[in-house]
Amino acid sequence: MYNENDKSRNSRMPKWFKRKNNKADRYRPGELSDGNEDESDDYLDEILVRSMETDPCTSSNNELRIFVGTWNVAGRSPIGSLAVDLDEWLNLKDVADIYVLGFQEIVPLKTRTVIGAEDPKEATNWNRLIGKTLNDKYGCPWLTPMITRISSDNYHYVPVSDSDRRASFSSHSEIPWRERSKTVREMPKVGSKYKLMASKKMVGVFISVWMKNEVLRKYCISNVKVCSVACGIMGYLGNKGSVSVSMSIDGTNFCFIAAHLASGEKKGDECRRNNQVVEIFRRTFFPRSPGDDDNPHPLTILGHDRIFWFGDLNYRLYLEDNLARQLIKKHDWRALQEFDQLRREQEYGGVFQGWKEGDIEFAPTYKYSQSNCNRYSGGLPSRSGEKQRTPAWCDRILWYGKGVKQLSYFRSESKFSDHRPVSALFSTEIEVVKSKNRRVGLQSILPTMLPNDQIGTSRGNDEAKSTLLSLMVKDIEESPRHMHKP
């Protein structure tokens, strides 16, 4: 049982952890490229967009729905009939714009896998299944095998330019049918609803981030980076630790951390978990590289605007086994939460001060007796050969930052492993520079900018276009924004 006097034994977080780092400068979009002067129509369109821009500091808020899920799969491979379980876990009836999935133990935590070379096989298998599940439901199933070429254990999205994006879609319709298969294979996004944005594996910890193609077209996605921190055996082996993804969606920076913390329910094990959290904060780093754009991105976790931390965090219950099982039998989740180790640690300053988590209104997710079983391991009388474990909410999802609203928090009932998968759906605000989305076609506005007697006769008139272009260029050059461009 937990003793209130043990409060003093909690390790206090260092000062740097209690305050949010100074945030990186807000995302400021660069000037649109002038393009090729020979391509006058495209150039006019781009100039027109620039002339319609407002002050880059002026912004509007948009909302995205982000699905975050975590699942300890107990070293089992996804090969087989897992698709139905994955469909239920991803809650595809309530579709999201972004899917962020964290896994633990995608390989057995044996000496060979912990200290040996990384093998991308299982990460690729999981990405194939995730892509197939998402795109079978909302995309073109016959295109899903093409994600194989980007389904590695260490992948991050490289954005394409606006001109390349336009070319990829417009050129497809002009290619003879007999030659299209090769072209489609080079552009897997054409038929798929969701695109893999980032993927990172460290031993058994794995993160996979997918985004709707509509989101890619609407927002500027930049600075997609990955990082891993090993803090397991001896403090530096990858049987425990985290894999993280950082990205900027227009003017908002996101960080997603999938973690697997120290196991154990003995007194003092919670301090080991606390220390690993601090180590992950301290050692996670997203360095700038020569290939980055001119817009600075956060280097550390706490430098981001919206942060999601999830995984098998392994926090247990300060409660004897038989009492815990009695409350579970009554479905008294509120009473059970009073003994939740993670929430106690938050209250006493051990870890995650200021972070949020939704109300837990589902049964503990660990430990089930075995796969294909709905019974918790151990209990009274103890079964021969079973581990005696007090059920606990080991699998959790937390978040930090403003502009985030949790819409749901639930567990799924897959019997694939001794953990049940946990999911949360969020609505989050995105700060968008208005100029990024006000892309108005030349032909749609040209008539309204000409004298009435020229409407209908000047759409194809090169002289009118040239006059309009010179006025726009002059307007841009004389604007305060152009004159005081940093």
Asked if residue 7 has pLDDT above 60, the reply is no
Sequence-distant (≥ 6) Cβ neighbours of residue 461 within 8 angstroms? none
Mean pLDDT of 206-214: 96
> For residue 263, what pLDDT is reported?
96
Segment 307-320 shows an average pLDDT of 97
Residue 381 is predicted with a pLDDT of 64
Measured CA distances, 394 to 203, 389, 429 (Å): 20, 12, 29
> With 90 as the cut, is the pLDDT of residue 436 above it?
no
Per-residue pLDDT at 433? 66
Pairing of strands 59-72, 98-104: parallel
Residues in contact with 48: Cβ distance below 8 Å, sequence separation at least 6, in sequence order: 440, 442, 445, 472
Give the C-alpha separation, 262 to 156, whole Å. Answer: 28
Q: What is the CA radius of gyration of the chain?
A: 26
Residue 434's pLDDT band (boundaries 50, 70, 90)? low
Instruction: Express each pLDDT in 242-253 by its tens digit.
Output: 999 999 999 999
- Binning the chain into helix, strand and coil, the percentages to the nearest 5 are 35, 20, 45
Per CATH, which fold does 63-137+192-429 belong to?
Deoxyribonuclease I; Chain A (3.60.10)
Return the pLDDT at 467.
40
Q: Determine the pLDDT at residue 3.
A: 52
Q: What's the CA gap between 233 and 231, in Å, rounded?
A: 7
Q: H-type helices in 233-298, by residue range?
A: 269-283
Q: What is the mean pLDDT of residues 297-313?
A: 97
Q: 26: part of which helix (H) or strand (E)?
A: none
Distances (CA, A) of 348 to 3, 9, 314: 13, 10, 18
Mean pLDDT of the chain: 75
- The Cα 343–Cα 358 span in angstroms is 11
* Mean pLDDT on 272-293: 93
> For residue 377, what is the enclosing H or E element?
none
Going by the DSSP 8-state scheme, the letter that residue 106 receives in this structure is S
Helix (H, G, I), strand (E, B) or coil at 99: strand
User: Tens digit of pLDDT for each residue in 71-92?
Assistant: 999 999 998 778 789 989 998 8
**Whole-number pLDDT of residue 435:** 52
Please give the Cα distance from 345 to 40 (Å, whole number).
Answer: 63
Is the per-residue pLDDT at 160 higher than 90? no
Q: How far apart are CA 375 and CA 379, in angstroms?
A: 10
Lowest mean pLDDT among 124-138, 203-217, 274-288: 124-138
What separation in angstroms does the CA of 232 have from each of 236, 246, 259?
6, 23, 11
Whether the Cβ atoms of residue 328 and residue 366 lie closer than 8 Å to each other: no
pLDDT of 396 reads 98
- Whether residue 98 has pLDDT greater than 50: yes
**pLDDT computed for residue 28 by the predictor:** 32
In the predicted model, what is the mean pLDDT of residues 2-26?
45
At residue 138, the pLDDT reads 58
Tokens of 50: 């620039």
Residue 384 has pLDDT above 70, yes or no: no
Helices marked H in 52-147 — which ranges? 83-89, 111-115, 121-138
Q: What is the mean pLDDT of residues 201-226?
A: 95
Q: Over 50: is that where the pLDDT of 162 sits?
A: yes
Residue 168's SS3 state is: helix
Q: What is the pLDDT of residue 150?
A: 45
Tell me: pLDDT of 295 over 90: no
Of 52, 362, 444, 102, nearest to 242 (Cα)? 102
CB neighbours (10 Å) of residue 378?
18
Task: Tell me how far apart the alpha carbons of residues 176 and 157 are, in angstroms, rounded to a whole number.
Answer: 29
Average confidence (pLDDT) over 179-202: 62
Q: Cα–Cα distance between 345 and 11 in angstroms, integer?
A: 10
Q: State how far the Cα of 263 lies from the Cα of 312, in Å rounded to an integer.
A: 9
Q: How confident is the model at residue 106 (pLDDT cuts 50, 70, 90)?
A: very high
pLDDT at 270 over 70: yes
Residue ranges of alpha helices (H) inside 298-389 are: 321-329, 333-337, 341-347
Q: Is 461 helix (H, G, I), strand (E, B) or coil?
A: coil
Helix orientation angle between 462-478 and 40-51, rounded to the nearest 10 degrees: 40
Q: Which of 205, 208, 255, 193 is CA-nearest to residue 69?
A: 208
How far apart CA 4 and CA 455 sit, in angstroms, is 81
pLDDT digits (tens, 9 = 90+) for 122-158: 999 999 999 999 998 655 444 433 333 444 567 777 7
Q: Is the pLDDT of residue 276 over 50?
A: yes
pLDDT (tens digit per residue) in 40-53:
444 334 433 333 33
The pLDDT of 393-398, averaged and rounded, is 98
Alpha carbons 369 and 17: distance in angstroms, whole number = 38
pLDDT at 208 over 80: yes
Q: How many residues does the chain have?
A: 486
Residue 328 buriedness (CB in 10 A; 0-12 / 13-18 / 19+) = middle
Band of residue 370 on the pLDDT scale cut at 50, 70, 90: confident
User: What is the rounded CA–CA span in Å between residue 407 and residue 397?
Assistant: 13
Q: Say what the pLDDT of residue 404 is.
A: 97
Q: Is 50 exceeded by the pLDDT of residue 239?
A: yes
Q: Pick the residue with more confidence: 350 or 32?
A: 350
What is the pLDDT confidence band of residue 94, given thresholds at 50, 70 and 90? confident
248 alpha-carbon distance from chain centroid: 11
C-alpha to C-alpha distance for 292 and 287, rounded to whole angstroms? 10
297 neighbors 249 (Cβ within 8 angstroms): no
User: Residue 451 — very low, low, confident or very high, per pLDDT cuts 50/70/90?
Assistant: very low
Lowest average pLDDT, out of 190-194, 251-255, 345-349, goes to 190-194
Q: Is the pLDDT of residue 165 over 90?
A: no
Amino acid letter, residue 420: R
Mean pLDDT over residues 152-169, rounded? Answer: 58
